[in-house]
Structure 1
Amino acid sequence: MSHSAAVPEAVISASEGLATLVDVLAEDRTVVGPALRDGAIVLTEISSADELPHGCGVELTAGRYRLVRRADPMIFAHSAGPQSWKAYLHPQRERLWTVDRDARGRLAFREEEGEPPAYAFLGVRPCDLRAIAIQDRVLGGGPHADTAYRRRRDRTFIVAVECTDPGATCFCTSMGAGPGVGEDGPAAYDLALTEVLDEDGHRFRARAGSRAGERVLARLPRRTCDPATRAVARQAVTTAAQHMERAMPPVDLHTLMAGSLDAARWDDVASRCLTCGNCTMVCPTCFCTTTEDVTDLTGDHAERWQRWDSCFDLDFSHLHGGPVRASARSRYRQWLTHKLGTWHDQFGESGCVGCGRCIVWCPVGIDITEEAAALHAETRGSRTTDEEAPS
């Protein structure tokens, strides 16, 4: 085994290599990865590679998630679970500041500036890698960046894992967000793994995407990446893309959303939507929040907290005269047109990465790709009718 200072690519075993990776990362970071909990593969803190979901897969469909036992020991051959990494980078609830009043009535404000945990994310899917990049732009960029997000993000080490077995609700290929992390261009990860299992054994093709990634890879038991392993890994990603069962309609979604605000389809989806907000909670890019102020009984101590909010919440758009979007139709339309349309106007790209979580965890099985296709069919039909109408 070689132990040079800089290792851009290598092969590590699924046993000793992966176990050592977790141990090395855990030396100075909190390792977060997939594990089995309560009938689902969830993201949680792990201390050993043994906690990863060896031999577990998932069956997904609209409104349904089920764990299945695989016939092989693959570790990452499962689709994204109910959580995304934003729960660690953009927490569901965090305190922004506190204020205390002393005996003379003077107020002392203290902003939350504690050092955030140093995380190592193990098993970040390409769709979630794209989602993190989107959150970096939304929350970490611009003149009014979320400094708490930026501090957490700067201390995070990312181990991406390319997808080789997409779920039935995945459509990352049509969103340009997977199933691979790409071979060329700047890397958005520190390490990228591709899991391979064939007659030559169970192993990972490992690629470093940063100097920190090279240093970690140099400490692992490894061998030079051979052409056969490289070819098998690439083919596994290519095959995964070919097996993607869902896709967004191949149209300009930004234009589609702008031209379908009055579509009848919104009434159809509103009749099914419960406005529960599940889709926004599981979405890896939804970022909306609200603030809450709490005080003690004396009034001498107060705190401001930030927590996730949803555009499906009736109070989300509440003004002095009532909610701006009172109907389910208007709230679902706001979510979808922002995600696929006006997100481009704000941030220069789509807010959807094709992970399919909103399809799986919708209690009534509303499918975002189906809704986009229906809107496209309706607007295309309207244009055809207009073109055929006599002048």
Structure 2
Amino acid sequence: MADTKAAAVIDRDGLHALIGVLAARGRTVVGPTVRDGAIVLAEISGGDDLPYGWGVELEAGTYRLRARSDGAVFAHSAGPQSWKTFLHPPRVREWSADRGADGDLVVTADETVPPSYAFLGVRPCDLRAIAIQDRVLTGGRYADPGYRGRREQAFLVAVECTDPGATCFCVSMGTGPAAGPGYDLALTEVLDDAGHRFLVRAGSEEGAAVLAELPRCPADPATQEAARDRVAGAADRMGRSMPPVDLQALMRDTLTAERWDDVAARCLTCGNCTMVCPTCFCTSAEDVTDLTGDHAERWRRWESCFDLDFSHLAPGPVRASPRSRYRQWATHKLGTWFDQFGSSGCVGCGRCIVWCPVGIDITEEAHALHREREAGAGATGQGDPR
């Protein structure tokens, strides 16, 4: 491993050069760019594609771009996509089958070679989300070879958070605003009287090799201190927080709480929260065929626990009510994920709050459950799953 404490400073030209170096190494560079009124993740070909001078205004059920006067490139919070879109795509063909002239079926596994991605601008919360998906999709008995292939080739350029949004709560989840382990390069953006620059640290051998190809200066003490101050300041400006309690125990102790009825009255069970969540991983199989019946394909696509058919068994759906489906999602994300995978499934990115059409706020729900438990109303037990 490279010395993760070794650091350098690059300017805007150095950032643009980084994209070129990664592309020259055969990588498909994906980063933030402005499109359709949002900052989205897409393939980028150069530094001009980055969202210089754009920030976002976030609230429950609200997302708006806003112009910034400082020209910052990474001073925006998580957008509607996460890196899950590329590592665990929404729709993947698993195999195809063709009927030959003799009537026999020939089944061919899909062996499409995935791109060698370089992800530029991975927030610390998303860096942790990737680590969580690694545990889910590459560990245990049911590893996903497609995910593993995409993940093993990915080069991660993390960007530490210096300007959190109103719906961010990564500090509560221990996932930011400083970058944790797992990156190849980590950037911290600094804008002050000394100029616009980026403190860069290498976290892998390849990261160190890429950094060595960039126009750079040694990391001076003033830039290092400014970077630390901005990250520390971001930790003090989180827009949301979880109650400071054991969330796994809170979910377990409030299964029959009245608060679930309140959220069920508002929830549309649309599944937006699961689609934008960087760690939700559930999928379903979809078989399609052509009109001749001689060609068929099986596709794997994202599925949501808010879908009525998600828990459908012969007698009917196990979770027939919005109450039971929202409770399943929240208690799994914040509670039983620990039992399965040894950590929380929530990284505090706030996407589920922003992209909920009725503005349901998972932190508000957790605080309400905590208050109800403190008042003695959140009885323990399995509760009614319907």
Q: Please classify the TM superposition score into its range, dividing by the shorter chain length.
A: over 0.9
SS at match of 1:167: coil
Letter paired with 1:201: G
Indicate the SS of the match to 1:234. Answer: helix
Paired AA for residue 331 in structure 1: R
Across the aligned residues of Structure 1 and Structure 2, the Cα RMSD in angstroms comes to 1.7
Q: Which residue of 1 aligns with 2:275?
A: 281
Q: Percent identity?
A: 69
Measured after TM superposition, the shift of residue 383 of structure 1 is 7.0
- Counterpart of 2:383 in structure 1 is none
**Where does residue 294 of structure 1 map in the other structure?**
288
Contact 2:60–2:353 (CA under 8 A) maintained in structure 1: yes
Provide Cα deviations, 1:275-307, integer angstroms capped at 9, x if missing partner: 111100100000111101111223222110000
CA displacement, residues 102-154 of structure 1 (integer Å, 9 cap, x when unaligned): 22232222111221101100000000000000000001111220000000001
2:263 match? 269
Q: Which residue in 2 is equivalent to 1:308?
A: 302
**Residues 79-98 of structure 1 mapped to structure 2, 5 A cutoff:** 79-98=77-96
The answer as to whether partners of 1:9 and 1:224 remain within 8 angstroms in 2 is no
Structure 2 Cα separation of the partners of residues 322 and 263 of structure 1: 25
Residues of 2 paired with 1:15 and 1:235: CA distance?
21
**Between 337-346 and 137-146, the greater mean CA deviation after superposition:** 137-146
What letter matches 2:66 in structure 1?
Answer: V
1:38 paired residue number: 36
- What letter matches 1:89 in structure 2? L
* 3-state SS, counterpart of residue 337 of structure 2: helix
Alignment of structure 1 residues 68-107 onto 2, 5 Å: 68-107=66-105
Give the secondary-structure state (helix, strand or coil) at the position aligned to 1:382. Answer: coil
Q: Pick the aligned partner of 1:222 from 216, 221, 233.
A: 216
What 5-or-longer segments of structure 1 have no aligned partner? 387-391
2:256 and 2:378 in contact (8 A); partners too:
no
Aligned to 1:340: 334
Question: What TM-score do the two structures reach when normalised by structure 1?
Answer: 0.94
Q: Which runs of 5+ in 2 are unaligned?
A: 381-386
Q: Secondary structure at the match of 1:47?
A: coil
Measured in 1, the distance between the counterparts of 2:234 and 2:102 equals 67
Which one of the candidate residues 1, 12, 15 is aligned to 1:15?
12
Please point out which of 192, 197, 222 is paired with 2:191: 197
Against the structure 1 CA distance between its residues 210 and 384, is the aligned structure 2 distance closer, same or farther, given a 3 Å change threshold?
closer
Distance 2:170 2:118 in 1: 24
User: How far apart, in 2, do the equivalents of 1:107 and 1:375 lie?
Assistant: 55
SS at match of 1:271: helix
What secondary structure sits across from 2:376 in the alignment? helix
1:382 to 355, 376, 379: 376
Cα 1:106/1:261, change in 2 over 3 Å: same
Q: Supply the distance in 1 between the matched residues of 2:313 and 2:131 (Cα, whole angstroms).
A: 32
Further displaced range: 11-20 or 357-366:
11-20
**Paired residues for 1:106-255 under 5 Å:** 106-182=104-180, 187-255=181-249
Q: Deviations over 1:323-376 (max 9, x none)?
A: 111110010000000000110000000000000000011011100000001011
Determine the C-alpha separation between the residues in 2 that align with 1:213 and 1:144: 30
Aligned to 1:359: 353
Match of 2:312 in 1: 318
